[in-house]
């Protein structure tokens, strides 16, 4: 009996010792993004691929398609739902047409710091939003930072709230963005990101709004002169996988993907913040004139946008909005 027991234990240990790679099938995930190949988002996708490969013994890999070569955020997200593309990293606003509650993330002048956003998105509110995606044919693997959005234009410096009036600004194809800038007096023009550079180059629009990291990586300084640190919205991307792809993975493979995504999320946030800190100085060196809105002018923006806040708090769900604001209040109380 003792011999049989030892043999059984030995056999069990041998099974447990089988390398993870032997339990994993070969998978190559195509990941499409709209940003350039050297943008921190692309760098983080490649890091995600490295983590996948390391954890799967080289069986699971990533193939990156950058610069909108597979389409824009909307078309690539649609491709995920149809099962013709494995992964993409769209702006969270892209998901509002499917799950209205995602819009609360972009409510203007809500977050004060990146760490506040991390706490809310990684907490109950953010995870509850991700939990709505499988019903839409998507699996959310984490929130990647885009950053605080700032306004650029080719016409004039912006030093006060009123200076936005009359500017034709490209915005994300999303009603909240349209209403926000139209309320501030600008002429908001929805365009896919992949068409933005040429639109500014041809003066079809005066400017746009994006974080400094994207402004630098996309070389907008070549066609834009003025940048104001308006910080009017916090913007995040969602690392997405097609549910059809996800459902085709074993439990072990799904865990590898989740673990790699978790590490890549931390890496992406760290990378883009470091890049963003340097980006502002680089943009100045490259000739952009940078202005900052004084607190009194930020307060004017906030006052003008109160009707927009009220409208979209209702649109996105008053309960979800209240839950996010309560969570944000807890975060702020805990950091004091």
Q: Tell me: the pLDDT tens digits for 234-286?
A: 999 999 999 999 999 999 999 999 999 999 999 999 999 999 889 999 999 99
Report the mean per-residue pLDDT for the chain.
93
> Under 8 Å CB-to-CB from 294, ≥6 apart: which residues?
none
Mean predicted confidence (pLDDT) in 71-98: 96
Q: Would residue 101 count as lying in a domain?
A: yes
Q: Would residue 18 count as lying in a domain?
A: no
Res. 26 pLDDT band, cuts 50 70 90: very high
The residue length of the chain stands at 336
Task: Specify whether the CB–CB gap between 319 and 111 falls below 8 A.
Answer: no
> Under 8 Å CB-to-CB from 105, ≥6 apart: which residues?
92, 93, 121, 129, 234, 236
209 is in which domain, residue-wise?
Answer: 24-335
Q: Tell me: the pLDDT tens digits for 38-48?
A: 999 999 999 99
* 326 CB burial (10 A radius; 0-12, 13-18, 19+): exposed
**Residue percentage of the chain with pLDDT more than 90:** 90
Closest CA to 42 of 304, 278, 272, 332: 272
**Is the pLDDT confidence value at 299 over 70?**
yes
Q: Would residue 80 count as lying in a domain?
A: yes
Q: Would residue 19 count as lying in a domain?
A: no
Q: Would residue 76 count as lying in a domain?
A: yes
pLDDT of residue 277: 87
Q: Would residue 125 count as lying in a domain?
A: yes
- At 174 the three-state DSSP class reads coil
Q: Structurally, how many domains does the chain consist of? A: 1
> Under 8 Å CB-to-CB from 331, ≥6 apart: which residues?
116, 119, 120
Res. 16 pLDDT band, cuts 50 70 90: very low
**Is the pLDDT confidence value at 15 over 50?**
no
Res. 49 pLDDT band, cuts 50 70 90: very high
Q: Would residue 15 count as lying in a domain?
A: no
Mean predicted confidence (pLDDT) in 98-119: 96
Q: Would residue 247 count as lying in a domain?
A: yes
User: Can you give the pTM of this predicted structure?
Assistant: 0.87
Closest CA to 139 of 62, 247, 243: 243
What CATH number is attached to the domain comprising 304? 3.40.190.170
6-15, 17-26, 120-129: least confidently modelled range: 6-15
């Amino acid at each position: 009996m003792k011999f049989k027991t030892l043999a059984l234990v030995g056999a069990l240990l041998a099974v447990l010792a089988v390398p993870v790679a032997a339990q994993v099938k070969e998978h190559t995930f195509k990941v499409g993004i709209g940003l350039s190949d050297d943008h921190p988002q692309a760098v983080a996708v490649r890091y995600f691929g490295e983590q996948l490969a390391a954890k799967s013994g080289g069986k699971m890999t990533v193939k990156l398609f950058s610069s909108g070569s597979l389409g824009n955020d909307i078309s690539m997200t649609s491709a995920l739902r149809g099962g013709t593309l494995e992964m993409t990293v769209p702006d969270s606003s892209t998901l509002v047409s499917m799950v209205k509650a995602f819009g609360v993330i972009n409510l203007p002048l809500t977050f004060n710091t990146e760490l506040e956003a991390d706490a809310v998105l990684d907490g109950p509110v953010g995870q509850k939003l991700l939990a709505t995606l499988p019903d839409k044919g998507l699996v959310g693997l984490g929130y990647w930072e885009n950053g605080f959005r700032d306004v650029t234009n080719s016409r004039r410096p912006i030093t006060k709230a009123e200076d936005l009036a009359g500017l034709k600004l490209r915005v994300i194809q999303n009603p909240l963005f349209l209403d926000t800038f139209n309320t501030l007096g600008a002429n908001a023009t929805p365009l896919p990101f992949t068409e933005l550079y040429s639109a500014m180059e041809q003066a079809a629009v005066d400017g746009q709004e994006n974080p400094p990291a994207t402004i630098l990586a996309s070389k907008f300084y070549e066609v834009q002169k003025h940048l104001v640190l308006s910080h009017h919205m916090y913007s995040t991307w969602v690392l997405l996988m097609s549910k059809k792809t996800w459902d085709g993975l074993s439990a072990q493979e799904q865990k590898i993907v989740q673990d790699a995504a978790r590490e890549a999320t931390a890496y992406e946030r760290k990378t883009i913040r470091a890049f963003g800190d340097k980006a502002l100085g680089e943009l100045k060196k490259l000739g952009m004139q940078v202005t900052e809105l004084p607190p009194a002018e930020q307060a004017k923006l906030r006052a003008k946008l109160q009707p927009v806040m009220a409208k979209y708090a209702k649109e996105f769900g008053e309960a979800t909005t209240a839950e996010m604001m309560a969570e944000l209040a807890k975060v702020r109380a805990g950091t004091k």
